Structures are given as C-alpha cells and as structure tokens.
Structure 1
Amino acid sequence: MPGAPGDGTNNQFGGTAENVAMFRYAGSVTMTTQQFAPPPQQRSWAVAAPEGTFTDRADILARIGAVAKADRETAAVVVLTGAAGVGKTAVLHRCAALLRPHFEFAVTADFGPLWPQGGVSLSDALAGMLTELYVDQRWIPATLADRRKRYLSLTEGEKVLVLLDNVHHAAEVLALIPNSRHALVLAASEFSLDDMNVPEESDLAVRADLTPLSGLPEDDAVELLAKICGPARDLGDEGQVRELVGLLGGSPVDLRVAGGRLKTRKTLEVGHLIEELTEELRRAPEEAPRGALGSTNRFDPAYRWLSAPAARMYRLLGALAAPAVPIRIIAAALGVPGEEAGLLADELLRVYLVEELPTGFRLPGAIRRHAHRVARQAADESEAMVEEAVKAWVADAADADYAVNANRLRVTDARRAGREPLCTSSRAAMDWFAANHDALLAVLRTADAGHWDEQTWQLFEAMWPFYSTHKLLHAWREAGALAVKAARRSGPPRVEARIRCYLSRAYVELGEFESAHTELVRARELTEHDEEVKYFASVLDFLGKAKYVEGEFAEALAVYRESLRLHEQIEDRRGIALQSQFVGRCLGELGEHVAALAAFDRADELLADSGDARTLSQIATSRAAVLVALGRDAGAVASLHRAVEIAGALGTVALIDKPLELLADLAHRYGDAEAERTYLRQVCELHDRTGSPRAAEFRRRLDSLTS
C-alpha cells in the first residue's frame, strides 16, 4: 500500500518523470468519489406525493398556478389559512405535484411535528432545508443568521418551490423566502397571520397572498365521501348524504373519518351517524390553541366506536408528542406482540384516524389534538404507556449507538436483552438517527416532563454519534441541557460529568466557549477523584478539543498529554492511540514536527488492526501536513493517497476533500499541471456535491488551469 506509516522519504522532485512517479495515484482518485451524494444538476424534490383521494380545489390550484407562472420582480408568497382538517397540507402537496415542471427544486419545513411540547425551531428548519439542497452537515453554519445567508446564497436566482406547513408566526415564512424572483413560497397555517405582508419600504418587497381555505363545496365533499366509501357501499338517501357533508363543513379530514366508519360498518346508516355528530356538536367545543381555528370534539363518535385495544393505541399516540411512532414502539408501550399492534394500527387506518409514514404512524393535526384530549382524560393509563414507549425508544437509540461504534466510552448500556437489533451497520444506524431525530427530541422532552431522569440522560448519550456529526446545534443544546438537569438529579457524578461533556461540544460548535468551559470545569470536578480514571481522562479529552478549536494549542497540548498519561496508566490501547493523535496535531500546530510525526506513527500502529477507518484516515491526513513542513513531500503524497483510499472505502465525504486539496497544492508546487487538474476536478466535484461555500473558489482555480 502506498504511503505506509512512517514513510518520510525526503524526495524533492524536479523532473517530469519523477513528478509522474510522485503523483502516480492521481488517476485512481476518480474511483473513490463516485459513490457520494447526487450531483448538483439533479433536482431536489423533498415533497411527498399527494393523496389519492384528493378532490377539487380547482379554483385555488388555478390561482396558485397563475402566481407560479407569472413574471414578477420578487418571490411570491401564498399563505393558506384555515381550521385544522380542511385540507391545507393536501393542497400544498397537490400544488407541488402540478407545479413540478416549473421548478428545479422543492424544499419543505414542517413546524408542527413536535406539538404540544414545543416546536421545530426556525434555525433547525433552515438546517433541514439546507440539507435538502444537498449541503453537507459540515457546511451548515452554526447561527440562524448565517444559515439564512447560506440559504439566500444557494437560492439566488433559482426556480425554488418552498412548502411550509403548520406555520405559527409570520416570521417563520418571511425568514424562508428564497432570494429569487422565480421562487414561490406556499405556507399553511391554522392562524390568521395578519402580520404576514412585508412593509413596502422593506428590502424584501414581497406581498403575501393570504388565502382562507374552508371546507370542500357540497358536490365535491359528496364526491370525496363516495371515493372513500367505495362503489360497493350504498350510502342511501342523497339528501342525508348532503346533510352529513354539510354537518362536517366539507372538512376532508372529517369526511375521511366518517367515510372510514361507513365503509367498515356496513350496517351503519348515514342518518344514525348524523344523529351522533349532531349530539357531539351541541356540546361546548373544546378550546383550541390560542389563535387557532376550529375544535376537535367532532371526532368523539369515531373514537367511541373503536375497539378497546385500538382506542388504547389511539390514546397512546395522542399522549406521545412525536411526529411518527414506529410499530415496535407501539407494541412495547401496549405490551402486546408486534403482529397484534399491527392489527390495531390497521383498525385505525381503516377509519382514517392515523396515517402511515416510512418512520411509523402519525395522527393528522386536528385528530392529534383530539387524541391528546382523550389521553389526558385517562391520565394514569396514558402516563404508564408513555413511560414504556420512552424506555423502548431509549433501547432503540442505544442499539443504533452501538451499531455506529460499539467501543466508545459510555456510562451505561441501555440496550434491552432479547430484542432484535435495530440496525446492522454504522451507516444504517446513522440513517435511522437522521430519519427519527425529531421523534427522539420529542421523546427526550417527554421523558424530562415525566421526570424519567434515567431515560432522559440515557437517550441523550445514545444520540451522541448523531449530534457529534450533524449540525442540529440548537436541538443538541436543548437536549443536552435537559439531560444535564436529569443527570444532576438522578445519576452518579460520572454520569453528570459525561453528559456535561457531550453538551460542551455543542457549545464549542456554536462558538460559545465560555459556556463550554463552564460545563467542562464542572465535569472535571465531578470526575477527578473517580476511582475509574477513564472518565476523568475523557473529560480532559473534551477539554483539549475545546482549547484546540479556540486556537490555544499549547494549553490543548498540556491537557491532551495529561489524558494520554492516564490512558497509559490504565493501559487503554484505543485511548492511547486517540490521545497520541491529538497530541500530534497540537505539536504540528506548534511547529514541533518531528515529535508530531512520532505521535502520529504511534497512533497509527496502535490502531492498525482496529478497523477504525475514520481515525486512520484522519491520522494519514494529519501526518501529511507534518511531512510537508519537514520537506518530505514524497512521503506526504503517499500518506495523502492512503487517506483518500481509506476514506473512499468508508464512503465519508468529510474525510476525502482535505487530502485531495493538499494533493492539488503539492502538484501545483511541482508544476505537474495534469496531476493538479485531476485532483482539482475531484475537489470541485466533492465541494459542488456537498454544497460547500468554497466550491466557487476551487472551480475558478481549475478553470485557470484549463483556459
């Protein structure tokens, strides 16, 4: 293998033949980058398909279509307002399907999944939208202001469709308007958003079209009800059918629930259903959230019709503030086998009280509030079920955590013996964390509210692999603060220290170093007398990282050396290797290159048989920078090719661009234009694919070589 550890041959090439030998692996780099993210030319269309039973709304669809196709000076904004259940989300998705030929990109944000325990922050919504635009997590800025600047830069002049659901405030819409006159923003809200229009003197001169959305017209409502019930179901007297859809206000959600009951209960007459609903609507309506439109008591008849086990599942979903709940969590919470839980879900699906998503089962907005109300009415039972659901979720997160890295230091093993493993690979586990993050944050909030302290900090610890590699910094900070509070109440000192360390890294990523050091000082106090030295050594590791990021390399070196000494004391081979790597980085920054190279070689040797490809690739890149400083360029090139080879096999974009950049720089120094172009093409491709803000910089450099 080229560039074996310690290859520090001091070769200074001056001729073409030697340059070819030095960069002889340049042509093979192409093979390592084919497996990564979609190219920027591919359209991002992160929108679910519309419902198959969608009916009418022709006037609104036509109006929105005209707005989308019109020539205008600024982005257009259309806000659909109306009570829960009138079909706002369905209209958004139908519009996206109809308008797809007119836009290159469609991005989405839903501010409602975590109701009623807080919502999705605007900053995290922007992070999600940047991800949908193929921006790698490394390039997503930490602050809301910088994320918005990046969003505006990426959308400048582009044909972008933005779908915003469950909006609560006008600011959520205004902050997400793209920087393009070709853009269209479609937002849906239960709130009036009277302050939506931007003042004329604003730099963002957008006038919003506020469009109230009511129930379907009578004929269309009758058509939708017939579609739901199917041709085999005779609904009887047409006058009664029209009376029923009028009673329901033409609400698509209500019509689906009523139609589901009529379809599954062949003996239920429309007249009897009208009597049930009329009785419910005579009652005082439940108070809706302040400023929202509509109430939920109209779902009582459908709820009372459910079998007792299905009604229990419905209450469970209402008590869980999560965007979707997997069937294995439902089964664990109800204490039933998975097959039985699946049958209960089928019963709820047949009457349209739940929706099935790839990540689990979800209650539609208006129904979710009803389910939350009936769950509160059975508070003791609901609390017990929710606690079991939280424990099951923690166990799943722990499974995923171990799939990412079974050997990292933890203060507990929250996995459940006898359960089928959730993930079988690191990549699958990280995908699971990404798909379920909003649900996990909701679960963590639920655990905190229920004072289930052990589950709170265990879940946060299990989420460390995801948070440490993604940029959901505000969610990370919130989750960490809740976990620290729980650990302080319930855990031994080492638990609190460990959780504070995880939280400190979020502060470091946010640039809030004072807060980071507050957490780390307390963590150090909690572990410096711990009989298990590894916990104190780990605190020093986190402290060294904070110092290193701040640019205080001498202080970071002292901390890392102390951590290294402790790992040597307990003969922790992996710990010794990692701390040696960090010591080497600090020495390199301080100009002590020979000592740095020795530290890297020690780390590499200790990890040679570990299978830790990520760390081995990072060591190879760090060693190369030191070899360049020592004038050992041939060894640096070999080490960089080794880093690329390892990272390519791992499929990690974050590890491959830096060595390629260094290789391009070295090729430029030696005047090898062919090798430099080869490396720069790969660098440009990776930066383009990952939405890097440096993409244009490297593209200009490549163009200068080919012009």
Structure 2
Amino acid sequence: MGAGDTSNEVSGSAVQVVQAGSIGSVTFAAPQLPPDVVPFLAPAAPHPFVNRDGQVEDVDDLVPASADLGRPVVVVVRGMPGVGKSGLLTHVAARLQRKFEDGVLYAAFGPDGETPSGALERFLVALRVPEGQVPSSLAGRRDLYRSLTTRSRILVVLDDVTEAAQVEALLPNSAAAMVLVAGNTALEDLHADGAAQISLDPLAPDDALDLLRRLCSAQRVNAEPDAATELVRLCGRLPLAIRVIGARLGIRPSRTLATAVDELRDADPGNLLTRVAAVFDAVYSDLAEPVRQVYRALGVLVTRDFSVEVLAAALDAPVTRVRAHVDQLCAANLLEERFDGHYSMHRLVRRHALHRAAAETSRGDRVEMLRRAVRWWCLGAAAADIAATGRKRLRVADPGLYLGDHNPEMFASTALAWFDREHANIEAAMRAAAEHGWHDLVWQLFEFTFPYYEARKPLAAWIDAGRLAVESAALDEHIAAEARCRCLLAKGLQELGHYDDAGEHLAAARELADDDRLRASTYDFSGNLALRTGRYEAALDWFTEALRINQMLGLPRGTALQTLFVGRALTRLQRHDDAATALRTAMELAQIAGEPVVQAKALISVADLYTQTGDRAAAEVALTAAADLAAGIDNTAMLADVALLRARAAHACGDAAAATRYRDEAIAAFERMGSPLAACLLADEAINADTDGASSST
C-alpha cells in the first residue's frame, strides 16, 4: 500500500480501522455506555495489595453518613513517588464502591495530566450530561457539577495532585460525598480547610517481604531470607520497585534472589531514586532486544498514555508484533493497561525509558520515531474530521495527504469519541511538533481537531492550541493556514467572551485571506462575532458579503448557510419581513442542497422570528416541520431545541400549562441523551435564556 493509500477494516458496526500505508492504522470505536450505568472511572487496584491496613482503616473511619448539603470529606494521602499512593487510592475506591451508590469518579493531574476543566467535562459526561450540553467555561462546568452532585453519595479520586485549586474545583456539593487526594506535597490549603492527612511511608520490612513473596513465591523468599531482606531494602521498600523486581523474578524461577541483590548493589546507596532506577535497569537487561526497542520508544512518546497503534506507527512495525511486546512490558509491571484499551506508565518508569532511549538510540532515530507518531495523530484527526463534518467544509489542510480520496464510514459520535480519547495526546503532539520545527503538522492538527473543539468546547486547550497553530502557520509562511487558524482561534476566544482579542485575530485573518472562499469564511466568522456582541448591522454586512461570494463560487451549502445567517441578523434588527424572506430562501436552498440539518436550523430560526412577532400559530407550524426533520435524521439535540423554543414561547405568552408540557418534552429529549437531573437544569436555563443561536458555518 502506497503512502497515500487508505482502507477500511470494519468489524461489526462499532469498530472501524483506517489504514495508511506509510503511517499505520487508527481504530475508531463507537462510544457504548448504557444509559443507566453508574460511573466507576478509577483504574483497577494493584494486585497483590499488601498491608496498608492502618491507612485503609483511617479512610473507612472517615466515610460520611450525612446526606446534607455541605463540604465533602477530603482525605489527602501524601508521600514520595513510587510509595504506593495511587495503589492505595484505587484499592480504597474498589473497597468502598458499594458505599457510594452514585458512582466513583477519577482524574489524574501531574505535569502531563488533566486540567480541572477537562476533568469536569469528563465527570459531567459520566454523570449523563449530553456532551453537546457541557458548559464551555470552567465556572459553568463547576456550577453544573455542583448542582448534579447535590446530596449525592459519590466518591471522587484525584491522583497526582500538585495544588489545592485542582481539588477545590472538583469538590461535590454534598456532605455525603468523599474526595480522596494523592500528592507528593502536603497541600496545606486543603489541610487548613479541614482535610484529613494521611502520610504514606515505604512499606514496613515485613510487609515489603510479604509483597515479594506474593510476586515470586514464598518458597524462594523463605529459602533466601537474608537476600530477600537486602533486596527489598535496595528497592527502598517502595511498592513500585518491588513489583517490578518481583515480576522479573517471577518469570525467571531459576534466578536466585542473591543474584538480583548483586545486580542492584552498585547503585548509589544514598540516593533512593538511583536505586529504583537500578531496579529498572536490571529488569530492562532481561528483556529481548525487540521488547527493549518498544520500551525505548515509550520514552520518546510525549504523551501520558498511548495506544498500541501509535507505538507501532512510531516504530514502523506491525501492530500485532508491537502488541505482543507491550504485553511483555505489562507482565514486567513496567506498563499498566487502562480500561479504555490505552496504556500508561509511572513517571519514574517513563523517565527511565527516556534515559535508555537517549543512551542507546541515535538522536536522528528518536526524532524520526516522534515524527511518525505525530503523523499518526494527523491520520486519526483527519479521518475523524471528515467523519464528523464531511468533505464539504472549508479546509486549508488537505485530508488527502493522509486519507487519499477515502471517506471513513463512521458516525460523527464515533469520531468524537476518538477525539475524546486522544485530544490531550494531540495537544502534546502539537507542542512537540512545534519544538522540532514541524510547523505544517502543528496547524494541520489544529484544523483537523476543530470539530472536537467546537463540539466539546474545552476552551483553555482550544485557545492554547490555536495560538500555537497561528504561530506555526506564520513560521511555515503559509498565509492561508494562518488566516484559517486565526478564524478558528477567534471562535474559541469568542466562546470565552474575549471579544476584542477575537476581533483582532479576525481582522488579521481578513487581511491575510488570499482566495475568495477563505475570504468568505473570514466574513462568516466576523459576522458571527458581530451577532454575538449585538452589532447586528455589522453582522448583516458581513453575512451579506459572505453570501455573495458563496453564490459567485456556486457553493450550495455555503449559500444556504449564509442566507440563514442573513435571516438571523435581520431578525435581530427587527426587519421581520426581510428576515422571513431570507429564512424561507435558506430553507429552500438547504432542501435543494440535501442539507437537512441546515433546513431544520432555518425552520427553527423562522419559528423564533414568528415568536418575536407574536404569531404563535405560524411559529408552531415551523417548529412542527423542524421536529419532523430532526426526527428523520435522528437528531435528538435538535428535538430538544424545538421543545425548548415551544416552552419559551408559551412562557412568554403566560401559558403555564403549555410551557410545562413542552418543558417536559425537552427534558425527555435530554434524558434520551443523558442525565435526568441535568435535563431539568438545562431545560430551565434554556427557557429563560435569550440567545442568538448563530454559529459559524465553515
């Protein structure tokens, strides 16, 4: 298969594999989550788990009984890296699961981990908030999270915490809840607010020996008691190091413990981390060279977690072969497999892998591995972008560089689920690409990932990635890419309410745009910003000019959308007759273009117009047609919008009974997408809101 050749391998209806000969394969799996599932997001507890009975009992004693409003019980577990904080938290989470019937949530922070906003987004989705209804701002997410967790019995596990603010943002609004925190520092601010503190020290000598017995057999430990005692001492009695050395001995039954001791004795006796690295060195030396090569590649990857496919792409090796080597690294306790099929490694293990890569792999080979990995994310993002938004959307980046003429056959929800898994890795890949001067890959990744940013609205990540992409496009001297990235960045800034900054980027984009279609897109984004900020005459001017260009270029979808936006601007200007004409035209154009989503949006805008003019009967006719279209394309979110507009119209007319009936319809639609409680909150908020509903088309 050539560099541009792609293909599909479909297994059932839920999984698709997109392959590109020069890059590798990317698997897309549809999200499958039963509607009534109770979330349990914590990783599996380590096995075997040895005596931390005192600390476990301390946590048990703090489990709350109250179901009142108020601050949850917060328990902070602190200790040095590798001492077993994460293991204790996941063990306790599994042990206490039945006491917290509303679920167990989990987030990991640290240098390469999540942000509070990103964690809140995942928590809200786990609590059944429809993904499209997750608020875009940190404050909005926090407020909805607190509303959803009122008086709930929920356990929140926060690992690798570095500052108290990360915890404060994720506290449930319930005295019946509990928050377990692991960090390397004391987090004094939490202690001042009443958090319980548990210090975790290295295992006691007997407990360290017990863990070793369970890993490599009691018979061997009892046969060499002095060597066993010295071995766990050289491991610093740290569970991480003992697990790694124990796994090594477990798969080599003929090797004596004394031999293992001799291998570790050369390490600096005064530096515990050096002794731990010596443990990893010993295990590494036993690996076959192909497995060592995979381990070294893990040090090159810039991400917190990874799939086997991206690792195979980095190594330019078959996925099946790499998977077998990854299984061996898991057996050696150097890797952990996560519930979502990705793998992760402890920070100390990652540092060791990086050192081994630096010592044994040339810089050129390391750079090439990283570049292949970044191109793998480009392949996945391009495929997900096409699946989510089709090929008609304006793009400066060419998906054909990765996909050829192939159109991935998957639902948009499947594409977004892939972005959900990979977005943090994509951001890390963008940063690494920028550092290496691969500026074309940076702006391509940003543009391909835009459907995720627009759907999920992770604003901090969106804006950080956008600024990086704008800079890279400028350094790449790609004028069209810079203009496009400035528009996409401006959209994120607009969502955040940074209107002046957004306006500056759009002004620069208009100056840069060097072809008609791109110029029309900058006018579209400019009109959207003007509409959002109440400058309706300016919005009308921008949309009118964008419409003219789309008509000139003969673009049916763009013409329908811009006509719709013209109608929305005219509605806000209270030029109702002109607005009605524009919106009817938009509906006809959308029907001719075969764009039912645009047609339904136009109908909803018509209904909004009639609601403003007091013609409730005409509004109802338009909403009925919109509902029929939405049902035909199985668009539950649009059905919810129709019900909300009906409720808002009834509420404005003082018809309380009808407002309640339509509110209940909206709630039912939201419930089909997720949480019943979230449905009520979102419906009430939307009924009382006055929004323009405009969105960018390109």
Question: TM-score, normalised on structure 1?
Answer: 0.83
Aligned to 2:331: 350
The yes-or-no answer on 1:341 pairing with 2:322 is yes
1:689 paired residue among 643, 651, 676: 676
Question: Matched residue of 1:179: which SS?
Answer: coil
Question: Which of 401, 404, 415 is the matching residue for 2:388?
Answer: 404
> In structure 2, which of residues 202, 206, 229 is the aligned counterpart of residue 215 of structure 1?
202
Q: Distance in 1 between matches of 2:150 and 2:614?
A: 44
Change (3 A) 1:662 1:169: closer
CA RMSD of aligned residues (A): 3.2
Q: Which moved more, 1:242-251 or 1:567-576?
A: 242-251
- The answer to whether the Cα contact below 8 Å between 1:400 and 1:429 also exists between their aligned partners in 2 is yes
1: CA distance, partners of 2:333 / 2:388: 37
Residue from 421, 430, 454 that aligns with 1:435? 421
Match of 1:84 in 2: 81
* Structure 1 position 324 matched with structure 2 position 305: yes
Tell me if the contact between 1:296 and 1:369 (Cα under 8 Å) persists in the aligned partners.
no
Change (3 A) 1:401 1:690: farther
Give CA-to-partner distance per residue, 1:36-80, whole Å, 9 cap, x none.
9977x8644333332343333222111101101466974221111
Superposed CA offset, 1:92-148 (max 9, x none): 122122222322243222113x53xxx533333333333333344555444444544
Structure 1 residues 634 and 65, CA gap change in structure 2 (3 angstroms): same
Q: Residue 692 of structure 2 corresponds to which residue in structure 1? A: none
Q: 1:192 aligns with which of 186, 189, 207?
A: 186
Equivalents in 1 of 2:219, 2:330: separation in Å? 19
What residue is the counterpart of 1:486 in the other structure? Answer: 472
Secondary structure class of the residue paired with 2:77: strand
* Matching residue's letter, 1:178: P
Residue from 567, 576, 585 that aligns with 1:593:
576
> 1:280/1:677 Cα in 2 relative to 1: closer, same or farther (>3 Å)?
same
1:462 shift after superposition: 0.7
* Distance in structure 1 (CA, Å) of the matches to 2:478 and 2:460: 27
Further displaced range: 71-80 or 491-500: 71-80
Question: In the alignment, which residue of structure 1 is the partner of 2:555?
Answer: 572
Q: Count residues with an aligned counterpart.
A: 646
The 3-state SS of whatever aligns with 1:46 is: coil
- Can you give the 5+ residue segments of structure 1 that lack an aligned partner in the other structure? 1-34, 199-205, 288-293, 702-707
Partners of 2:579 and 2:560 in 1: CA distance: 13
Residue 601 of structure 2 aligns to which amino acid in structure 1? Q
Amino acid at match of 2:524: D
Q: Percent identity?
A: 33
C-alpha distance in 1 between matches for 2:342 and 2:138: 30
Q: Which residue of 1 aligns with 2:21?
A: none
Does 1:503 pair with 2:489?
A: yes
The 2-side partners of 1:699 and 1:630 are apart by 20
Q: Find 1:557's aligned residue among 540, 559, 565.
A: 540
Q: Which residue of 2 aligns with 1:278?
A: 265
Moved more, 455-464 or 54-63: 54-63
| Partner of residue 97, structure 2 | 100
SS at match of 1:368: helix
Whether the 8 Å contact between 1:680 and 1:698 is mirrored in structure 2 is: no
Query: In the alignment, which of 151, 159, 175 is matched to residue 157 of structure 1?
Result: 151
Match of 1:45 among 27, 40, 44: 40
Aligned positions of 1:362-377 closer than 5 A: 362-377=344-359
Q: CA deviation at 1:87?
A: 2.0
Instruction: Write the letter of the residue equivalent to 1:309.
Output: P
2:639 maps to what in 1? Answer: 656
Moved more, 155-164 or 440-449: 155-164
2:644 and 2:683 in contact (8 A); partners too: no
TM-superposed deviation, 1:700? 12
Which stretch shifts more, 62-71 or 163-172? 62-71
CA distance in 2, matches of 1:36, 1:653: 17
Q: Distance in 2 between matches of 1:646 and 1:129?
A: 32
Contact 1:158 1:183 in 2 (8 A): yes
Cα distance, 1:648 vs structure 2: 4.2
Residue of structure 2 equivalent to 1:3: none
Query: Is the contact made by 1:139 and 1:692 (CA closer than 8 Å) also made in structure 2?
Result: no
Cα-to-partner distance string for 1:143-172 (whole Å, 9 max, x where unaligned): 444544444343343323221111112332
Instruction: State yes or no: 1:314 paired with 2:295.
Output: yes
Q: 1:59 aligns with which of 30, 54, 61?
A: 54
> SS where residue 641 of structure 1 aligns?
helix
Q: 1:503 to 1:230 in 2, by over 3 A?
A: farther
- The code of the aligned residue for 2:352 comes to H
Q: Which residue of 2 aligns with 1:202?
A: none
Distance 1:676 1:154 in 2: 24
Q: Please identify, of 342-351 and 51-60, the stretch whose mean Cα deviation from structure 2 is larger.
A: 51-60
- Secondary structure of the equivalent of 1:478? helix
**TM-score, structure 2 as length reference:** 0.84
Moved more, 425-434 or 258-267: 258-267
Which residue of structure 2 aligns with residue 383 of structure 1?
367
Task: Give yes or no for contact 1:56–1:220 (8 Å, CA) kept in 2.
Answer: yes
Counterpart-to-counterpart distance in 2, 1:235 and 1:482: 58
Distance 2:632 2:336 in 1: 39
Q: Please tell me whether the aligned partners of residues 75 and 185 of structure 1 are also in contact (alpha carbons under 8 angstroms).
A: yes
Matched, 1:643 2:640: no
User: Who is 1:240 aligned against?
Assistant: 227
Shift in CA distance, 651/441, structure 1 to aligned 2, threshold 3 Å:
farther
Higher mean alpha-carbon deviation, 565-574 vs 439-448, is at 439-448
Instruction: Check conservation: 2:63, 2:73, Cα contact below 8 A.
Output: yes
Q: Deviations over 1:503-534 (max 9, x none)?
A: 0001000000011011101100001xx2x310
Partners in 1 of 2:686 and 2:460 — Cα distance? 33
8 Å contact 2:383–2:403 — kept in the other structure?
no
- Give 1:491 shift: 4.0
- The one of 108, 132, 141 equivalent to 1:110 is 108
Q: Structure 1 110/410 Cα, relative in aligned 2: closer, same or farther at 3 Å? A: same
The 8 Å contact of residues 382 and 403 in structure 2, kept in 1 or not, is answered as no
The CA distance in 2 between the partners of 1:422 and 1:700, in whole Å, is 38
Distance 1:166 1:421, change over 3 A: farther
Residue number among 404, 426, 444 corresponding to 2:412 in the alignment = 426
SS at match of 1:108: strand
Q: Which has the higher contact order (CA 8 A, sep 6+)?
A: 1
Counterpart of 1:173, as a letter, is V
CA distance in 1: counterparts of 2:638 and 2:453, whole angstroms: 18
Distance 2:270 2:429 in 1: 33
Task: Find the aligned partners of 1:651 and 1:52 in 2 and give their Cα distance.
Answer: 45
| Corresponding position: 1:120 with 2:114 | yes
Q: In 2 relative to 1, CA 699–140 (structure 1 residues): closer, same or farther, beyond 3 Å?
A: closer
Separation in 1 of the partners of 2:222 and 2:437? 50
The residue that corresponds to 2:285 in the other structure is 304
Matches within 5 A, 1:444-593: 444-527=430-513, 530=514, 532-593=515-576
| Deviating more after overlay: 71-80 vs 309-318 | 71-80
Q: List alignment gaps of at least 5 residues for structure 2.
A: 1-30, 689-698
- Supply the distance in 1 between the matched residues of 2:137 and 2:72 (Cα, whole angstroms): 24
Question: Partner amino acid for 2:417?
Answer: D
Give the AA of the match of 1:79. V
Give 1:394 deviation, angstroms.
Answer: 1.1
Does 2:606 align with 1:623? yes
